[in-house]
Copies of this chain bind each other. A is one copy, B any other.
Amino acid sequence: MASIADELAKKQKEISVSEFFERNRHILGFDSQVKSLIMGIKEAVDNSIDACEEADILPEITVMIERIEKDEFRVTVEDNGPGIVKKAIPNVFGRLLYGSRFHAVRQSRGQQGIGISATVMYGQITTGKPATVISKTGKEDVAWRMDIMVNTKKNLPDVLKEDPFIWDGKEHGTKITYHMNGRYVGGKQSVMEYLKQTAIVNPHSRIAFVDPDGKRTTFERATEKMPPATKEIKPHPSGLELGTLMNMSKETRNKTLGKFLQLDFSRISDRLAKEICEKADLSMNANPAKLNLEELKRLLAAIGAVKIMAPPTDCLSPIGVNLIKKGLRNVLDEVRPEFYAPPVTRDPKVHSGNPFLVEVGIVYGGGLPKDSPVQILRFANRVPLLYQQGACVVTKAIESTDWRRYGLEQRGGSGIPFGPAIILVHVASTKVPFTSEAKEAIANLPEIQSEIELALRICGRSLKTHLNKKETKSKTRVKFEIVQEILPLIALKSAKIVGKPVPKLSGSITKIMNVVWIDDSVSYEKKHHRVRVSIYNYTPQSQKFNLHMVIPPGSFDYKGLQFFPSEVRDDGKVSWELPKIASTERLDINFSLNGLNKEDYDENEIYASGINPVLIIGAEPLPGDWDVKGMQITESEEAPVQEEEDEEVDYDESKEALNDD
């Protein structure tokens, strides 16, 4: 066998990472002509927004696609970012696995140092042409223009040409032009859709797009305010693995275990470091680099045994409740849905040292198609995910939720449910665990799946409440209609028989109905929202209770009011102490909201207190603890509403083993 082993040994050789991806470019997402065109633009735009945010610049991005031949396109992406210094340009664009964001624990779009150089490589594979990069770092600096190719055998950049460049009127920024074989299409998975969704969840960006026919579309900036900058943090100790701890202890600059624990991790205080060292039976003064395997194992066990605070939230940048609503609205086009479940933003959790958080929104009904699977919108770190839905933990979490409990149709209680709904899920993390370098789907990590499921259930319950309310209301209405139709007939007949006048019936009707019926509407005219709430007392007694609504803070219009509220709170809660309403009587409340966009308010949230909840149709009972449970303040993008409710989910890996196929 020695000769065969020798023979095989001769063939053993190193494979360069670019050579690997040259042959496996589908792993990078370049697996069809349609997709390749989108992928390349996505990589360039993600980089541009990341760079602008790092330099605290409002992004201005222009994307242009020109058709050169039937299949060949020239793509140009230009930004107003900080620019790239001359000596870094070749590596950034001409070398795979080279970048600035890989080693940082911080939320960013690019993390791998692969995307843009892979785009350059794919362009050269399909057209034989280099990419041209122009970059300028400041007013006084000269811009540089370089023609770059990836030397795939060595994974190093080949700079074919390099010139100083006069970039008229441009203070700073980067512009990349590459050629690529591709196919330009419209529809759900297209460059246009990717840019549109990107613009929605990055409203501080201005994105202009010139399509191959020369048609220009501009997604204007919706806000001049940068999203809060995400902070770089130290790794969180939750889910730390032995190998990582070993590496960190060997490489730390801190010479004592105490300092190492406090300074190399987030959320470990001096007190906690002491507690850990005690549990591990190690000295605070031990040299971390000299710990042996046994000691490191004890240390890891001790870290796992103490209670550590959740990671800080400022390393993450949620989309926020308002933009989630907006994102949902975008895909709805002209379809007016009947219900938006209040979006949920969960508290940050940790997967192997990396903080992450989950956001979910659901819309239901209206013109959405009833007889097809629900539509799923996925985002990761504010980047829309258009492909590989089937491989994504988001899909897995939706599939393993029993939607029959929340009013959607689902055969056997698993799988993608059917019904007129759209489910939006955003996962933000300092490290999104994508299933492949193409960053199309999020891997099925138990911690993430469980968080998504919890958020889905909270939204699901809102949906169910809505559907129940709708059903109760519709049943009551049917009863009401029957009673109103039949009772007068009986009365008429009876009166005729006994020869007496027809009796007044409202008393009897109210006895049979025995409800307080609340009807409401919102309309938008002349830049005002008009809200109307009508309260019908169909009970035999007079009723006196309080009514509460939630409106966007600061929008309540006191002008022209006929019936003043008893309280208008800063957080948007408005309350009325209603006067006594006699049996069979009706009371109307009308008011306006000022200074909102049409889409900022489209459904009233009405609560009642001081009355037996079973009597009320059309309002929810006011939750006991107003601020914590049940109510959602719908205008709080910076400090998204945290659902406090935490169903404990006993994560069971055997379930994973059964489900993941």
Residues of chain A having any CB pair with chain B under 8 Å = 1-2, 4-6, 8-9, 11-17, 20, 22-24, 26-27, 31-35, 51, 54-55, 82-85, 87-88, 91-92, 95, 97-104, 112-113, 124-129, 137-138, 140-141, 152, 171-172, 181, 183, 185, 187-190, 241-244, 246-247, 293, 296-297, 371-373, 386-391, 395-396, 411-412, 415, 418, 431, 433-437, 441, 443-446, 653-654, 656-658, 660-661
A173 to chain B, nearest CB (A): 9
Q: Which B residues are CB-close (under 8 A) to A415?
A: 373
Q: Quick check: A31 and B443 within 8 Å, CB to CB?
A: yes
Q: Quick check: A98 and B13 within 8 Å, CB to CB?
A: yes
Q: Quick check: B189 and A661 within 8 Å, CB to CB?
A: yes
Q: Which B residues are CB-close (under 8 A) to A12?
A: 88, 91-92, 98-100
Q: Quick check: A661 and B92 within 8 Å, CB to CB?
A: no
Given contacts A183-B653, A433-B26, contact A446 B32 (CB under 8 A): yes
Q: Quick check: B24 and A391 within 8 Å, CB to CB?
A: no
Q: Which B residues are CB-close (under 8 A) to A92?
A: 12
A22 to chain B, nearest CB (A): 8
A565 to chain B, nearest CB (A): 47
Q: Quick check: B55 and A1 within 8 Å, CB to CB?
A: yes
Q: Quick check: B137 and A27 within 8 Å, CB to CB?
A: no
Q: Assembly of this chain: how many copies?
A: 2
Q: In the bound complex, what is the Cα–Cα distance between A87 and B395 (angstroms)?
A: 46
Q: In the bound complex, what is the Cα–Cα distance between A341 and B315 (angstroms)?
A: 56
Taking each of A103, A243, A296, A372, which has the highest tally of chain B beta carbons within 10 Å of its own beta carbon?
A243
Q: In the bound complex, what is the Cα–Cα distance between A187 and B661 (angstroms)?
A: 12
Q: Which of B103, B126, B297, B444 touches A13 (beta carbons < 8 Å)? A: B103
Q: In the bound complex, what is the Cα–Cα distance between A246 and B171 (angstroms)?
A: 38
Q: In the bound complex, what is the Cα–Cα distance between A340 and B244 (angstroms)?
A: 51
Q: Quick check: A14 and B98 within 8 Å, CB to CB?
A: yes
Given contacts A14-B97, A657-B185, contact A8 B243 (CB under 8 A): no
Taking each of A6, A14, A435, which has the highest tally of chain B beta carbons within 10 Å of its own beta carbon?
A435
Given contacts A14-B98, A17-B17, A27-B437, contact A9 B85 (CB under 8 A): yes
Q: Which of B5, B33, B84, B433 touches A8 (beta carbons < 8 Å)? A: B84
Q: Which B residues are CB-close (under 8 A) to A91?
A: 12, 14
Q: In the bound complex, what is the Cα–Cα distance between A83 and B4 (angstroms)?
A: 9
Q: Which of B4, B15, B243, B443 touches A124 (beta carbons < 8 Å)? A: B243
Nearest B residue (CB) for A246: B128
Q: Quick check: A389 and B661 within 8 Å, CB to CB?
A: yes
Nearest B residue (CB) for A20: B97
Q: Which B residues are CB-close (under 8 A) to A22?
A: 243
Given contacts A32-B445, A657-B189, contact A435 B128 (CB under 8 A): no
**Contacts A8-B88, A13-B103, A32-B660 supplied; 15 other A-B pairs, CB < 8 Å:** A1-B137, A9-B84, A13-B100, A16-B97, A22-B243, A27-B436, A27-B443, A125-B244, A126-B243, A128-B242, A128-B293, A185-B657, A372-B412, A389-B661, A390-B391
Q: Which of B99, B187, B435 touches A391 (beta carbons < 8 Å)? A: B435
Q: Which B residues are CB-close (under 8 A) to A373?
A: 415
Q: Quick check: B27 and A434 within 8 Å, CB to CB?
A: yes
The 4 residue pairs across chains A and B that have the minimum distance between CB atoms: A390-B390, A125-B243, A391-B391, A436-B436
A596 to chain B, nearest CB (A): 34
Q: Which of B2, B87, B390, B445 touches A141 (beta carbons < 8 Å)? A: B2
A84 to chain B, nearest CB (A): 6
Given contacts A84-B5, A99-B15, A373-B415, contact A35 B242 (CB under 8 A): no
Q: Which B residues are CB-close (under 8 A) to A247?
A: 152
Nearest B residue (CB) for A659: B189
Q: In the bound complex, what is the Cα–Cα distance between A446 and B259 (angstroms)?
A: 56
